[in-house]
Structure 1
Amino acid sequence: MQVETTPNLFILYTLKEGVTPEQFEEWVRTTDQPAMRGLARVQSFRTYRAERLLMGEGAPGVAYIEAFAIPDLEGFTNEDMGGETVQKVMGEFMGLVEAPQFIVTSEVK
């Protein structure tokens, strides 16, 4: 049994004006997830909808959060990022979202 790597890349973003959550989530299910999950270096990839704040008033500062577990992040960055699959998905993604933050993380142990 393969042990899943802790997520080490998070992407936080909102949708561009005119893009509905329904349109975006359909694209996630039919294009984004199948393409990114099909890459050998991507061990897991999930997209989460930011629904509400647990504490405090107002709405979350982002609409969606993506969590990737990519054990070979250097290989992904050097090889997969420039490849046809990622470039196609990223081109479409950037047309749908506003101000994405790509955050590389490491777990505090």
Structure 2
Amino acid sequence: KYFDLRLEFENMYKTSECNHINTMLEKLSICPIDETDYCMRYIKHMELIVYQMLNDGHHFEKPEYISANLQQGICSLEDNIEESTVVRARGLPWQCTDQDVAKFFRGLDIEK
């Protein structure tokens, strides 16, 4: 389980402009921490944002769940793929066939 901080922030403060931690800090008038390690700085900034949200009365109630079980693929290698289907997949050679792409995505938990 986890909470999407950006989504929680947007719901709490009725904004859709916060795509980055620094923007959230700015909106809450929180001064950024001077920390050399990027990961530690990022975590401390998230901590400050969560603390301020709790002080402002926010309740983290509905966590998002990570599915422990994978669903079957939405297509098999034998299925025909519609011509209008578009997906951006990085790391595949440009000469891949439709079947190669289907094989690449087989086993992933993909929503229809």
User: Which of the five TM-score ranges fits, normalised by the shorter chain?
Assistant: under 0.3
TM-score normalised to structure 2 length = 0.25
Structure showing greater Rg: 2
More strand by share: 1
* TM-score, normalising length: structure 1: 0.26
